[in-house]
Structure 1
């Protein structure tokens, strides 16, 4: 009995000692919240007032949707009653093949034995449309405004939106009625069904191959250069190869202080102003050089998008809707070209799907001999579909960028790269 009592008392003593030791052990420190990066919160991060690049189409399209004005484009009207079409087929062929009106029918269609070189295949092959059994009224209305029959058509409303008048559309229909023979191609590269898709395999970090690669060194030098207040990026970021290893792969991000999505280039502009009093506005040479340098530090890192904040998820959801919004005189959405039209040819231009479109920016565009960030790419696409572009720091572009980045999640960064 005495032994049992001693054992019980010893157990109580050990428990008390353990409790006292636990009480004296310091609790693990809760990591302090990471300080928010200083940002210039007032004003625009882009040149003001924003002006379109001088060598771009300078027209404006106020009568049609833009990403910022989604309810402007007139809706489709009713079906136009048409009896027999007796237009001029020769004139119709010229109109169909004329690229000056907005690309011409060959941008999306093969059109029989008279098809010119390098047609596209976003739309169906029309080589035998003349014996498909379509009425003249159906053909006329589909060219005039395909939304009458198919609200989600990726074909522009050629008549409704003023590309062609009714008489010209009658001529085009007359030409379509003559198409009854399959197309043949002397050169296999002219056939969009067999034309090999382009593969970019050049060494994008070789400055002899990619002029944008030279700007990695320019950006690195600028990173160490003092701004107007005497401070440089390197004063706070002494080891950028380490501290920025993941940064570009995790942009854009939701910024609660601005209540918007902040991409890499807008962050650079606002952070440089707040910390160095430097004016590195978006799409300026300095901003582009720093963006290229910082993106290059993340090469090989997988893209990761943070949607953990409800506001970030809501911005992403809005970005999805923006990608589906039909805009401009052409009445195209991002999804029209990179969804329904993905992995097809628009004349000689390959239309890729969203995944694979955003692991390589900033990019050297060989067709323009320029470096473009992703926002300039958005602006160009807007103008190409004859919609008014937005300033590069527009809220809508941030949300669209967030959506596109999410579509590329997991792909490894490879920037600055090369594309046509």
Structure 2
């Protein structure tokens, strides 16, 4: 973008703010119904996974909407002595193409690859623990056979490894009899420094996501196919937008589901300006960041009192504990039981502390992600088919997460690795 264009964008935005041309959307819970398209999807249909994500289909495993994973069954009984190849077992244990590898959660002896995780116990001396071959086989094949609450994937039951491959892994585990040594504190998950985000996310020279604020203001002032812009009907944004985004998401009775800022934009724009600002399109993300930016510093305060909101929050909390995907993980496995630990070189955060920063600039991918795209990626990362961004289940998750972060101050766009 040329300097003159950037200068114009900035001048336009501040002029709009100062002149009061931009508009405030009605606050959440307003008595008069807000114009909104109620018949079409707010996202592109049919829904197609992003082109730079895996195309794998995990239809045989649970999602947030379907029950498909095989029912639990006891692991097969070994007949005779363990027949495993420890060399191949080591290779399999460290293979990142098999669900992220055992090293995602465990330290596993002196040959452990770089940046092991700490979600699971250090297995460097498991060969001295006195566990039987069958016990070890059972735990790797399906840990639920030993610990029904285990967050470890059922490697055999969900067909990530064959019976013979699990015997090879067990043979390798039996060779682990010496504590691991690490070349430095970064390699040891027990001493690896906890990452602290010190970058100023509201500095446009630090956070590329800040450019979306100016782009969003331009979208707001742009006339749609109806000949009208958002600013045609609404004004005084600094005053009237101060709290709106902090009260989202909210239950929309006409749709019988919870909608967030991004879905509201898509449906409201379609019925007023005529613009097709579909969820996760560039214009939708930019406008949602602009509206949230105006609410920065305002504490999150979503509806926790009405009957429909309470029911949605309860559904969202239940979905957080639902085991899905080939890896059989729930949200709370990583962000409660596994929180504040390492999964390989990534630090798992708690459910509180991130929500107020979305949409966020992901430096590792060079993209801005809204909260729904974050949900989708979590699904795909654990080998579960994701849902369209306007899925009711994501709305329930979003409001439940907002409640957990109730009182946290809005601070968008965020910046995260």
**TM-score, structure 2 normalization:** 0.91
Q: Which residue of 2 aligns with 1:245?
A: 242
Q: Which residue of 1 aligns with 2:96?
A: 99
Distance in 2, matches of 1:94 and 1:373, equals 37
Q: Which residue of 2 aligns with 1:135?
A: 132
**Among candidates 249, 253, 257, match of residue 254 of structure 2:** 257
Check whether the contact 1:145–1:156 (CA below 8 A) recurs between aligned residues: yes
Q: Which residue of 2 aligns with 1:57?
A: 54
**Among candidates 338, 349, 373, match of residue 370 of structure 2:** 373
Distance in 1, matches of 2:99 and 2:38, equals 41
Matches within 5 A, 1:327-406: 327-406=324-403
Matches within 5 A, 1:2-401: 34-69=31-66, 71-82=67-78, 83-401=80-398
Check whether the contact 1:237–1:243 (CA below 8 A) recurs between aligned residues: no
Local SS of the residue matching 2:342? strand
Q: CA deviation at 1:163?
A: 1.1
Check whether the contact 2:304–2:403 (CA below 8 A) recurs between aligned residues: no
Q: CA deviation at 1:98?
A: 1.2
Q: CA deviation at 1:208?
A: 2.0
Distance in 2, matches of 1:75 and 1:122, equals 25
Runs of at least 5 residues in structure 2 that lack an aligned partner in the other structure? 1-29
Q: CA deviation at 1:95?
A: 0.9
Distance in 1, matches of 2:403 and 2:194, equals 24
Local SS of the residue matching 1:364? strand
Number of residue pairs aligned between Structure 1 and Structure 2: 388
Distance in 2, matches of 1:241 and 1:58, equals 43
Distance in 2, matches of 1:253 and 1:125, equals 44
Distance in 2, matches of 1:98 and 1:78, equals 26
Distance in 1, matches of 2:407 and 2:193, equals 26
Deviations 1:17-38 (CA, angstroms, capped at 9, x unpaired): xxxxxxxxxxxxxxxx732211
Check whether the contact 2:109–2:123 (CA below 8 A) recurs between aligned residues: yes
Tell me how large the CA RMSD over aligned residues is: 1.2
Moved over 2 A (4+): none
Local SS of the residue matching 1:100? coil
Local SS of the residue matching 1:254? strand
Distance in 2, matches of 1:39 and 1:151, equals 46
Distance in 2, matches of 1:411 and 1:161, equals 39
Q: Which protein shows a greater Rg?
A: 1
Q: Which residue of 1 aligns with 2:24?
A: none
Check whether the contact 2:75–2:141 (CA below 8 A) recurs between aligned residues: no
Distance in 2, matches of 1:195 and 1:381, equals 24
**TM-score, structure 1 normalization:** 0.91
Local SS of the residue matching 2:355? coil
